[in-house]
Amino acid sequence: MTFSPPVSMSQPRRVRHAALPAVLSIVLTIIGPMPASAEPSPLGAPVISALVHEAPLRQGSLAQTETALGQVITATDKSLAVAFQRNVQVLQVRVRAGETVRRGQALITVQGAPGSNLAYVQATTGVRFATSDLKRIEQLAGQQLATQAQVNAARKTLADAQAQLAAARAQGLGGGVQTITAPFDGIVLAVHASPGAQIGAGSDALMLAPAGGLQAVVGVTPDVASALHAGQAVRVSAVFDGDHSTSATVLAIGGVVDAQSHLVNVTLALPAQASGWMPGLAVQASMQLHPWRGWVVPRQAVLRDASGQAYVFQDDRGKARRVNVTVEIDQAEHTGIAGDLLANRPLVVLGNYEISNGMALRVAK
């Protein structure tokens, strides 16, 4: 027969004490650890808070930005046409289209076309004959063989002949070989002559534009055109080189819509000191419209609820304060808003998705 040792009455108590840690471990596993953002309240209940990034609330200016494409042109009111008032024959063309020239540089050499000096020769002969005739009549008048009326008529004939000679010289007649030079630093826009060719009186031989007289023409929609005004500042940059840019001003706004592009042409004046700009260069212009001033905040600070209402959070003495706002304008990473904002309260810019009105805030350092 086998005898078991007597069980002590204190053993069940020890078993219960040993099982207590295991039971607590199971309970903690089911409940989970207490969140780090929960802090005990004076009454023992946890207080939920959120970690956020804040920024001061600031006033600023924003504007709608429009971009338009176009090209550089020469100022038509400053371009110079090289022409002659007589028929000439081209001896030498010293420049090419697109070439930059300096003031005083030779452009073209010409001489009178055959038969073009006939009027000059006739005017010269007329002056010489009228001069001799006046002397002869004055001598006869001294011998009382001619009247004073005859002397006056001879003087008038000489004056008319001299006037005709002056007009012929003003037309460049009788000048022989003539070389035209550039009156300013500029760009040769076009060449309409070649050696040996004859150019009629009044016809253009060359087109020259000042180096500092460049403009840009861009096309905009009619609503953008109505928002622009002369003298407005614009930023112009090369289409294929965004780093090459310069400031410009609105010079003129077209009053009609172009039949081909269906856009309104806007002329921009480029600064005279700008370098590296050539006629025909493709450019884009950035224009700011409808300037606005008010509360300017980072775009990520503005949220929208299920109904589409825009709102932001401010830090009101450590508590999140929701403020419904109206979005006035968006530009890049900033937004212009209006609402019942407190000027001396920081704005929550990051972490705002995780907070609600009245929640305690912890500011990231």
Longest dimension (CA), the chain: 195
195-245 pLDDT tens trace: 988 888 888 999 988 877 788 999 999 999 999 999 999 999 999 887 889
Q: Which two tokens stand for residue 248?
A: 């410009």
| Whether pTM exceeds 0.75 | no
Residue 33: what pLDDT? Answer: 38
Predicted confidence band at 363 (pLDDT cuts at 50, 70, 90)? very high
Name, in order, each residue with C-beta under 8 angstroms of 127's C-beta and a sequence gap of 6 or more.
158, 161, 162, 164, 165
279-314 pLDDT tens trace: 889 999 999 888 899 999 999 999 999 999 999 999
Task: Put residue 144 in one of left, alpha, beta given phi > 0 → left and psi -120 to 50 → alpha.
Answer: left
140-154 pLDDT tens trace: 888 888 899 998 999
Under a CB-based contact definition with an 8 Å cutoff, are residues 251 and 230 in contact? yes
Q: Which two tokens stand for residue 319?
A: 């508590």
Q: What is the mean pLDDT of residues 152-168?
A: 89
CA gap 196, 110 in Å, rounded:
9
Compute the mean pLDDT over every residue in the chain, rounded to the nearest whole number.
84
* Domains of the chain, first to last: 16-48 (no CATH), 53-64+292-363 (2.40.420.20), 65-76+213-289 (2.40.30.170), 81-209 (2.40.50.100)
- The answer, yes or no, to whether residue 260 has pLDDT greater than 80, is yes
Q: What is the mean pLDDT of residues 161-175?
A: 79
- The answer, yes or no, to whether residue 189 has pLDDT greater than 90, is no
28-82 pLDDT tens trace: 333 343 343 555 555 555 678 899 999 999 999 998 888 999 999 887 777 888 9
Residue 35: what pLDDT? Answer: 40
Q: Which two tokens stand for residue 25?
A: 């471990």
H-helix or E-strand spanning residue 189: strand 186-191
- The answer, yes or no, to whether residue 169 has pLDDT greater than 70, is yes
CB-facing half-sphere around the CA of 76: CA atoms within 13 A: 6
